[in-house]
A = this chain, B = another copy of it.
Amino acid sequence: MSRSQSSQALEAAERLCQERGERLTPIRKRVLELVLGWDGPVKAYDLLEALNPEAGTAKPPTVYRALDFLMGLGLVHKVEALNAFVGCTHSHDEGGAELFICSDCGTVEERHGSATPTNAPEGFKIDRSVIEHFGHCRNCTH
């Protein structure tokens, strides 16, 4: 993610927290910065490592709590198939993201598709959808 996108997302996060009466504490902000600045999806334990030279004593719950918080605000998405996390620059109120993940360069594109699939079982009420496409992005198919 580019620097400008990243800082925009940070500002958006500040605003979002203000609106909702949530606190973007230093740890949370730092984790968000790291996720946004990371090249591709990032593992929780890599975040932990990145966090530690500065924070010193961060342990798994620290980073998982921050990630949970950020996911709650929709600022970070989890890539379930990778056990990894990606930053999100979209302003999406509701609804899940549809992720396109390049297996070569690791970049993740996010789209917001139609919430309801055409072929759901009758009467099935969807709460949350996980949609992750793995393949090769435009740059990597050349």
Please, how many angstroms separate the alpha-carbon atoms of A59 and B126 in the complex? 36
Whether A127 touches B98, Cβ cut-off 8 Å, given contacts A81-B80, A132-B80, is no
Copies of this subunit: 2
Q: Is the CB of A111 within 8 A of B120?
A: yes
Please, how many angstroms separate the alpha-carbon atoms of A52 and B128 in the complex? 35
Q: Is the CB of B141 within 8 A of A117?
A: no
In the bound complex, residues from chain B placing their C-beta under 8 Å from that of A113 are 117-119
Q: Is the CB of A119 within 8 A of B127?
A: no
**Interface size grouping (class) on chain A:** 20 to 34
Q: Is the CB of A117 within 8 A of B133?
A: yes
**Residue A95 at the B interface, CB < 8 A?**
no
Q: Is the CB of A117 within 8 A of B129?
A: no
- Taking a contact as CB atoms closer than 8 A, the residue among B81, B98, B136 that contacts A125 in the complex is B136
Q: Is the CB of B124 within 8 A of A98?
A: no
In the bound complex, residues from chain B placing their C-beta under 8 Å from that of A134 are 126-130
**Chain A residues proximal to chain B, CB less than 8 Å:** 80-81, 98, 100, 102-103, 109, 111-114, 117-138, 141
Interchain residue pairs with CB less than 8 A apart (8): A100-B120, A111-B117, A113-B118, A123-B138, A128-B133, A129-B131, A129-B132, A130-B131
Task: Please provide the 9 A-B residue pairs with the shortest distance between their CB atoms, ordered closest to farther.
Answer: A123-B138, A126-B135, A80-B80, A130-B132, A80-B81, A127-B135, A109-B121, A128-B134, A111-B119
